[in-house]
């Protein structure tokens, strides 16, 4: 039979998940591992086996936002999604897809809008931005593409208003298989502009 954790261990695990969620929400930490280590340090925990999973932290983050940021989270997320749609429409030639916390609804005000773009030549995205006078930075992201392998992809970052858009550029056939999510180990959820527009209609902030 599988070994069951003691109630004390489960309570500690839950407390670390809640503290990691608070750290992510309040301090802008976006890396789950960093947030969990900071949370564990607060409780004097050094054993990796006690740490919650990324999925448990994400669940706690949703709960934190519901309890402590209900008045602002809805409006902030809506604004981030509006920026994402604007960016996706301006980069329509590269079949953009929205990914990450802005899509799943767990974004904090500190999160970038994350896009996946697809191009025969990665530099064509930067040239597109340059031709339109959009200031940007180029970089790269290391993403897990399956259970055993990582791959480095070029990226561009630019601003729309005060919101950062961080776009990873894949080969054209990269649209067939999404990289692995750091949250649950499954292929990342992706949404096209039409799906995002539908989300925006559904999540229009209510007036209070």
What is the reported pLDDT for 3? 47
The secondary structure of 74-134 as a DSSP string is HHHHHHHHHHHHHHHHHTGGG--EEESHHHHT---TTPPEEEEEE-SSTHHHHHHHHHTT-
What is the reported pLDDT for 49? 84
Q: State the CB neighbour count (10 A cutoff) for residue 34.
A: 14
**Predicted TM-score of the model (pTM):** 0.89
- 160 has which bridge partners? 163
Residues in the chain, pLDDT under 50 = 1-3, 207-208
What is the reported pLDDT for 75? 94
Close Cβ partners of 27 (under 8 Å, ≥ 6 residues apart): 110
């Amino acid at each position: 039979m599988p070994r069951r954790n003691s109630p004390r261990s489960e309570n500690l695990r839950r407390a670390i998940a809640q503290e990691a969620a608070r750290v992510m929400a309040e301090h802008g930490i976006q890396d789950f591992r960093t947030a969990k280590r900071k949370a564990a340090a607060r409780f004097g925990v050094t054993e990796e086996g006690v740490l919650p999973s990324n999925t448990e932290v994400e669940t706690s983050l949703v709960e934190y936002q519901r309890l402590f940021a209900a008045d602002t989270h809805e409006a902030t997320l809506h604004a981030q999604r509006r920026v994402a749609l604007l960016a996706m429409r301006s980069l329509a030639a590269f079949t953009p897809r929205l990914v990450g916390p802005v899509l799943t609804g767990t974004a904090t005000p500190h999160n970038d809008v994350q896009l996946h773009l697809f191009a025969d030549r990665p530099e064509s995205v930067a040239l597109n931005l340059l031709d339109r006078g959009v200031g940007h930075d180029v970089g790269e992201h290391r993403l897990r593409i399956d259970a055993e392998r990582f791959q480095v992809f070029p990226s561009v970052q630019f601003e729309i208003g005060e919101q950062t858009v961080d776009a990873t550029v894949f080969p054209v056939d990269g649209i067939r298989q999404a990289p692995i999510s750091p949250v649950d180990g499954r292929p990342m959820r992706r949404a096209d502009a039409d799906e995002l527009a539908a989300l925006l209609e559904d999540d229009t902030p209510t007036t209070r």
